[in-house]
Amino acid sequence: MKLYNAWYCPFAQRAWMALVFKDIDFELIEVDPYDATKWWVKVSRGAELVPVLVQANGDGSDTTIVESNRILEYLEDYYPEKTPIFSDNPNQRAEQKYWMDYVGNKITTYFYRFLKSPEAGTQQDEARDQMLKGLSEISMAMKSEEAFFSGGRLSAVDIALFPFAYRIEALLGHYRNYALPTKGKVWQRYHRWYDAMLALPAFRATATDHADYKNRLVTHYLPYSLGEGQSNLTQV
């Protein structure tokens, strides 16, 4: 199994974390997703986005999965013997998938908008407020007294959210001098979750060169903080 990855990419980190957490053998292939060579267009099925997961079928053909959340679902289906990240209850599973989509619809877009709005003003305020609303709603959905979204066990919802939660702290802290609230039940719940995720070995393993990981991310995202950056991830 091959994972085409870019070390800085939060979407790719989802797939990487799931592979590590499930203890699946895989080859990590670092690519530049913006370099649209013929090879990359073909490997990524024309998406030209990381992550891409490629599984050899054993008959010379491959199965290629694009889209980070689809990769998490595929890993669960393909390796039923590995530690699950989805509930086996169909209703709870549907709920988990709802919150995975919610991260994309209500959090990541506004995070990128906030990061890519260099000037104080309405645009920046609106992005920040929407991001905050998304984060507080998902925190309210963390009903468990235990650390993770669905209770004591890591789930795909945690994996979908954490790469962004980490970048919110690291990048908005640095470029917008911004910190999430800490007071009140909802935010205490959020930070309890955040601390558990930060300590998770499957995250640590993907935070490459982690002594310097945060600084490397800050440097990488400098163009985004100026309203530039190659990816257009600000559309809902």
Ligand X SMILES: N[C@@H](CCC(=O)N[C@@H](CS)C(=O)NCC(=O)O)C(=O)O
Considering beta carbons, is residue 147 or 175 the nearer one to ligand X?
A: 175
Q: Does 48 bind ligand X (CB under 6 A)?
A: yes
The least distance separating ligand X from the CB of residue 145, rounded to whole angstroms, comes to 31
Considering beta carbons, is residue 195 or 228 the nearer one to ligand X?
A: 228
Alpha carbons 107 and 135: distance in angstroms, whole number: 7
Q: Does 134 bind ligand X (CB under 6 A)?
A: no
The least distance separating ligand X from the CB of residue 160, rounded to whole angstroms, comes to 9
Q: Is 5 helix (H, G, I), strand (E, B) or coil?
A: strand
Considering beta carbons, is residue 200 or 217 the nearer one to ligand X?
A: 217
The least distance separating ligand X from the CB of residue 181, rounded to whole angstroms, comes to 27
Output the 3-class SS for 169-216: HHHHHHHCCCCCCCCCHHHHHHHHHHHHHHCCHHHHCCCCCCCCHHHH
Alpha carbons 57 and 55: distance in angstroms, whole number: 6
Binds ligand X by CB under 6 A, chosen from 34, 42, 179, 227: 34
Alpha carbons 219 and 37: distance in angstroms, whole number: 25
Which H helix or E strand runs over 175? Answer: helix 173-175
Q: Does 92 bind ligand X (CB under 6 A)?
A: no
Beta bridge partners of 29: 4
Q: Does 11 bind ligand X (CB under 6 A)?
A: yes
Q: Does 13 bind ligand X (CB under 6 A)?
A: no
Considering beta carbons, is residue 110 or 147 the nearer one to ligand X?
A: 110
Residue labelled with tokens 């699950």: 84
Residue labelled with tokens 């809902």: 236
The least distance separating ligand X from the CB of residue 85, rounded to whole angstroms, comes to 16
Strands annotated E in 2-111? 2-5, 27-30, 52-56, 62-66
The least distance separating ligand X from the CB of residue 71, rounded to whole angstroms, comes to 8
Binds ligand X by CB under 6 A, chosen from 89, 210, 231, 236: 231
The answer to whether residues 111 and 166 touch, using CB atoms and an 8 Å cutoff, is: no
Q: Does 73 bind ligand X (CB under 6 A)?
A: no
Alpha carbons 227 and 118: distance in angstroms, whole number: 6
Binds ligand X by CB under 6 A, chosen from 22, 26, 33, 142: 33
Beta bridge partners of 65: 53
Binds ligand X by CB under 6 A, chosen from 68, 109, 155, 206: 68
- Residues at the interface with ligand X (CB under 6 A): 6, 9, 11, 33-34, 48-51, 67-68, 231, 233
